[in-house]
Amino acid sequence: MPVVVAGTRLFTHGGSYMLHVRGRWGLIAAAIIVAASALGLVAAESAVAAGPIASGTSCVADATTGCLQGKVVDDNRNPVAGAKVTVTSPSAATGSSKTAKDGSFFFAVTEAGAYQVALDPSSLPTGVTPKTPTLTVTVELSNITPAGFALNGHAKGSTSHAAASVSFWQLLGQQFSQGLLLGLLLALAAIGLSLIYGTTGLSNFAHSEQITLGGFLAWVFAVQLGLNIVVSAVIVIALTSLSGYLQDKLIWGPLRKRGLGLTQLMVVTIGLSLALEYVFQLIFGARVYPVATDLELNTGPLNITPTAYWSMLVSIVVLALVGLALTFSRLGRATRAVADNRALAAASGIDVERVIRIVWIVSTGLAGLSGVLYALVNGGVYWLTGAQLLLLVFAAVTLGGIGTAFGALVGSLIIGVVANVSTLFIPQDLKYATGLVILIVVLLVRPQGILGRRERVG
């Protein structure tokens, strides 16, 4: 079940599996994932906490460690620093810590089970008492467990932040900003999908698994190996780009040379998508792996977390660079020429196969980056992360005009906003279904999409 902690979605699932694959591509694809996963598992086995309960200023959940963390705030919702928090494990081991300036506390534990978390009333400011001095929480390894304390009364000098009623328009603004973030992340994947279709005519249903791969690799490098998230993202982009090169080198290039029709190739992408999904499940199981392990509060004009702001900035910069490259670079002009008319592009001296190969590399790299950022802002990644987004990505590409990169960007922003705003009227779990509704409406009203060109059939 998902748990929302300070604007971050967390999950608790479990499972462990073995892997067996056949075929040349299956072995190569699995080798990349298994190698990275092995590094992560080795790091996880060697990362043993100093004791059964260790306090600190942060906590990273991994295979041997669970995080118990939270905040202490007064009735004005201001943080209380210096409050003593004591944690007792199922085996009666104890650990204590004082809250930081922002009222936060962190405990890393190496034993799963029910923990007692106690707040010492004598450590609180005068006139302030805990509403509930003792909490019982269940901690699982590899997961983050929240345990916050609310207080009666407030410290001297505390600023009132009394909760006010939230109007419909405020909720609309919050959902719009969340939708804008989702749209930018969808755009990274949708542009790649649109470029592949534009240059090859192939609707690649396995494109969503590059998103999942990006998220899992981010967990391996950033959480398990402890690398900086920027360094991890660069490595992930390189590996997912390599997977795109291998796909075109070993599968799509040879199939194109054999003259297979687009319908046959599309069926292959569906099979590859299903195969990769279950490879992910066999390796990682069904639980969600957190990439962002710090508690963050929504803030700023868009009321989203700081990580979400950075993700939006990175998405905008990357999308702008892709747009400039397609518009002004020699390769970009060649790509657009191949998308417009492959035969004419080949006749004019453009190496069509080389352009297609580069498109696969760039497209899968963008999808991998999308997976990294999506895992960061949504708390984690699991084996069906990409599959959940596939319908929204296809709806975005279709709405904007399939085969047009700039149309994919416009479509993604619209789909992201509409999907999130729809949760004001429908249950949260149904927001992904809005992509299907938009897809049907667009095909009925304007089949070529917003920026697509009308084509004559027959």
**In one letter, which amino acid is 60?**
V
β 94-98/84-88 pair status: antiparallel
Please give the pLDDT value at position 11.
41
Record the tokens describing residue 236, joined without a space.
């992930």
Same domain for 178 and 80, yes or no, is: no
- Number of domains the chain is built from: 2
CB atoms within 10 A of CB 143: 24
347-370: pLDDT as tens digits = 999 999 999 999 999 999 999 999
Please give the pLDDT value at position 1.
39
Same domain for 335 and 208, yes or no, is: yes
115 contacts 137 by C-beta, under 8 angstroms:
yes
Residue 401, domain CATH: 1.10.3470
- φ, ψ (nearest 5 deg) of residue 227: -75, 155
In a domain, 193, yes or no: yes
Q: Is 36 helix (H, G, I), strand (E, B) or coil?
A: helix
Helix axes 306-328, 330-340, angle to 10 degrees: 80
Record the tokens describing residue 91, joined without a space.
């085996």
Same domain for 188 and 107, yes or no, is: no
Please give the pLDDT value at position 427.
82
In a domain, 20, yes or no: no
Successive 10-residue mean pLDDT values, the chain, 458 residues: 38 39 46 48 39 80 83 84 91 89 89 90 87 86 82 74 66 89 94 93 94 95 91 96 96 91 93 95 89 75 88 95 93 92 91 95 96 91 91 90 85 91 84 81 84 59
Nearest to 310 by CA among 369, 370, 364, 377: 377
Rounded Cα distance, 112 and 43, in Å: 20
Same domain for 342 and 238, yes or no, is: yes
Nearest to 369 by CA among 180, 183, 185, 179: 185
Rounded Cα distance, 390 and 186, in Å: 9
Same domain for 267 and 319, yes or no, is: yes
Please give the pLDDT value at position 44.
41
Cβ neighbours for 305, distance < 8 A, ≥ 6 positions apart: 6, 7, 8, 296, 297, 298, 299, 377
Per-residue b/e over 108-132, b at no fewer than 16 CB within 10 Å?
Answer: bbbbbeebebbbeeeebbeebebee
Rounded Cα distance, 250 and 404, in Å: 26
In a domain, 294, yes or no: yes
CB atoms within 10 A of CB 48: 10
Helix (H) or strand (E) holding 88: strand 84-88
Record the tokens describing residue 385, joined without a space.
């992360």
Please give the pLDDT value at position 59.
82
Same domain for 303 and 175, yes or no, is: yes
Same domain for 135 and 248, yes or no, is: no
Domain end, chosen from 152, 178, 210, is at: 152
Domain end, chosen from 95, 123, 152, is at: 152
Same domain for 277 and 334, yes or no, is: yes
Please give the pLDDT value at position 160.
65
Residue 145, domain CATH: 2.60.40.10
Same domain for 136 and 204, yes or no, is: no
Same domain for 140 and 201, yes or no, is: no
Rounded Cα distance, 154 and 162, in Å: 12
Cβ neighbours for 262, distance < 8 A, ≥ 6 positions apart: 201, 202, 203
Please give the pLDDT value at position 17.
38
Range of the structural domain that residue 69 is part of:
54-152
Cβ neighbours for 161, distance < 8 A, ≥ 6 positions apart: 76, 77, 78
The number of residues in the chain equals 458
Please give the pLDDT value at position 179.
92
Nearest to 108 by CA among 44, 64, 149: 64
Domain end, chosen from 100, 120, 152, is at: 152
Same domain for 229 and 306, yes or no, is: yes
Same domain for 147 and 177, yes or no, is: no
